[in-house]
Every structure is written in structure tokens, then in C-alpha cells.
């Protein structure tokens, strides 16, 4: 759909593919195309799961530093809003999203992976937030999404040092969810995504929203978010089909309505 970002849908699984040689640097154009891709798959009722993929060699090496090097404070103040809006669009995709991480996922690349619900990494993958080595800090969600995922102390370690985390350590700290041989990364992500196909799409979207929104508020507010989402599902055909199948001891057939 764009010069550097494409969307392919097969068997109700959408793959958002980054392809900007040679390291998938997230330039302004890539950010714009990625935003459009995220909104496209989110609005497609036929898509039941999404994979973020940068190809066999690299996920994304980060935001295009050359593009930013000569920006003023005023320039970056405006650009950073666009940058965060791009990643927010990816995080807001309603379907389950799996990042298939090969090679490097650094800086903005790591932050992009953090926008997914799950992360599958190759054995030689490296993740990190090296912005501190440029005299900067993460600007696309790293200081916020990373501590929510791995805890504040581990997040500070990665952000303060800028070190690259190998896949086994990333798995141990919860930065990624599965580690597989490099050549199996996309296949593993595809197999995982396939487990959501044919499921209750409305309930999956509601569950994702309840978890994501609930983490941003206090417990009482989060429970209210859950209650409203839970109650709302009783208006869906899928809930009726699921409960009927349970009572009849049959397998439910969900329609996404």
C-alpha cells in the first residue's frame, strides 16, 4: 500500500511488512505509511489477527537519526507528536497483534515491538533502547510502555545504559514472549496468529481494550472498564452462540457479531 510499508491479508491474518533497506529505519514517510496500515487493518472486519514484520534480517533499527540530526526544538516538538501518533495507531489496533522480531529491534524498532500484544524473537535478535548514547531518551513510548512490560528497574537499566539485549535475556525479563530459531520467526508468529482466527472477534477486541485501558488507571476505574466491556458483550451474537454451545456441549461457531 506504500513504498516502504505493505499490508498482505491471507486466511484472515494481516501482515504489516516494513521494507525500507537496509535497516528499516523509521523515517517520516515510514511512520505515515505505518499509521495508514494500522488504521486499515484495524477497520477491516475480515482481519482477525495481525503480524508486524520487518523481514528475515531485521525488524527495525530505529527512527531515522540522519533525518532528525538537524531538527530544532520547535521542529522536534511537532515531529514527536507525529511519531507518537504513529505508534499509538499501532497500539490501538483492535485485533491481537504479534511482532515477529528478527535481527535488530532498537530504539524506535523496540518501541514498535512494544506496541504489539506479543513478541516472537529469533535466537540472534537484539532489542534495546540506545537513545541515551545519542544524548537522548526514547521518544516513541519506550519510557512508558517498557516499564509497564518489564518493570521500572529493568526498563531503567535498558534506557540508562542503552545496551542491546540478546533474545534469551529478553525472554527471561519478559521483553519477548517466545524465542525460536531465526528462520522460524515469521512461521511461529503466523501459527500463533492463526489461533485467534475463528474466535469471538468482538470479545477479543473488548478484552484487549479492557487490559490496555485498565493498566492506565487505578484498580477501581479498571474494574469499571471491565464491567462495561463484559456487560456489553451480552448484546453480541457471539456471546449467545458461545453460551448456547456450552449448554449444549458443542463447539461454538463465532461470526464476529
Confidence of residue 70 (pLDDT cuts 50, 70, 90): confident
pTM of the model: 0.94
Structure confidence by residue, pLDDT tens digits, 146-181: 999 999 999 999 999 999 999 999 999 999 999 999
- Is 59 a domain residue? yes
For residue 73, tell me if it sits in a domain: yes
Domain CATH code at residue 218: 1.10.12.10
Question: Is residue 24 located within the same domain as residue 117?
Answer: yes
C-beta of residue 13 within 8 angstroms of C-beta of residue 197: yes
List the domain range (segments joined by +) for residue 79.
5-194
- For residue 111, indicate whether it is catalytic: yes
Residues 240, 118 share a domain:
no
Residue 142: helix, strand or coil by DSSP?
helix
Contact 166, 126 (CB under 8 A): yes
> Does 253 reside within a domain?
no
Q: List 178's β-bridge partners, or say none.
A: 120
Same domain, residue pair 127 and 223: no
Considering the domain architecture, whether residues 108 and 135 belong to the same structural domain is answered as yes
Distance CA 113, CA 185 (A): 14
Asked if residue 242 is part of any domain, the answer here is yes
Helices 73-91 and 28-42 meet at what angle, rounded to 10?
Answer: 30
Contact criterion met (CB below 8 Å) for 79 and 42: no
Structural domains counted in the chain = 2
The answer to whether residue 64 scores a pLDDT higher than 90 is: no
Catalytic residue (one of 3, 111, 169, 220) = 111
Statement to judge: residues 25 and 128 lie in one domain: yes
Tell whether 116 and 216 lie within a shared domain.
no
Return the residue matching grid coordinates 474466535.
199
180 with 220, same domain: the answer is: no
Query: Does 132 share its domain with 219?
Result: no
Per annotation, catalytic residue among 46, 56, 67, 131: 131
Query: Residue 18: inside a domain, yes or no?
Result: yes
> Is the pLDDT confidence value at 205 over 90?
yes
46 noted as active-site residue: no
Q: Which residues of 11-48 form beta strands (DSSP E)?
A: 13-18
Looking at residue 76, its pLDDT comes to: 85
Beta bridge partners of residue 13, listed in sequence order: 10, 49
Residues 181 and 209 grouped into a single domain: no
Give the confidence band of 141 by pLDDT, cuts at 50, 70, 90: very high
Q: Is 10 inside a domain boundary?
A: yes
Work out the angle between the directed axes of helices 237-248 and 201-214 (0-180°, nearest 10): 110
Amino acid at each position: 500500500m506504500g513504498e516502504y510499508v505493505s499490508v498482505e491479508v491471507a486466511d484472515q491474518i494481516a501482515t504489516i511488512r516494513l521494507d525500507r533497506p537496509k535497516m528499516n529505519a523509521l523515517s517520516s514517510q515510514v511512520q505515515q505509511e505505518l499509521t495508514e496500515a494500522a488504521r486499515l487493518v484495524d477497520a477491516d472486519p475480515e482481519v482477525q489477527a495481525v503480524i508486524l514484520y520487518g523481514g528475515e534480517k531485521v525488524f527495525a533499527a530505529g527512527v531515522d537519526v540522519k533525518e532528525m540530526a538537524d531538527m530544532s526544538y520547535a521542529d522536534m516538538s511537532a515531529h514527536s507528536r507525529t511519531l507518537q501518533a504513529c505508534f499509538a495507531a499501532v497500539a490501538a489496533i483492535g485485533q491481537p497483534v504479534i511482532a515477529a522480531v528478527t535481527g535488530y529491534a532498537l530504539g524506535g524498532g523496540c518501541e514498535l515491538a512494544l506496541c504489539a500484544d506479543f513478541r516472537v524473537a529469533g535466537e540472534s535478535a537484539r532489542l534495546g533502547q540506545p537513545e541515551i548514547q545519542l544524548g537522548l531518551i526514547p521518544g516513541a513510548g519506550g519510557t512508558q510502555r517498557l516499564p509497564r512490560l518489564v518493570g521500572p528497574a529493568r526498563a531503567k537499566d535498558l534506557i540508562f545504559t542503552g545496551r542491546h539485549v540478546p533474545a534469551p535475556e529478553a525472554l527471561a525479563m519478559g521483553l519477548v514472549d517466545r524465542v525460536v530459531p531465526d528462520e522460524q520467526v515469521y512461521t511461529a508468529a503466523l501459527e500463533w496468529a492463526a489461533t485467534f482466527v475463528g474466535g469471538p472477534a468482538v470479545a477479543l477486541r473488548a478484552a484487549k481494550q479492557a487490559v490496555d485501558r485498565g493498566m492506565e488507571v487505578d484498580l477501581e476505574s479498571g474494574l469499571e472498564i471491565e464491567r462495561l466491556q463484559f456487560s456489553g458483550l451480552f448484546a453480541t451474537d457471539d456471546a449467545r452462540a458461545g453460551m448456547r454451545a456450552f449448554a449444549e456441549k458443542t463447539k461454538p461457531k463465532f461470526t464476529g457479531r
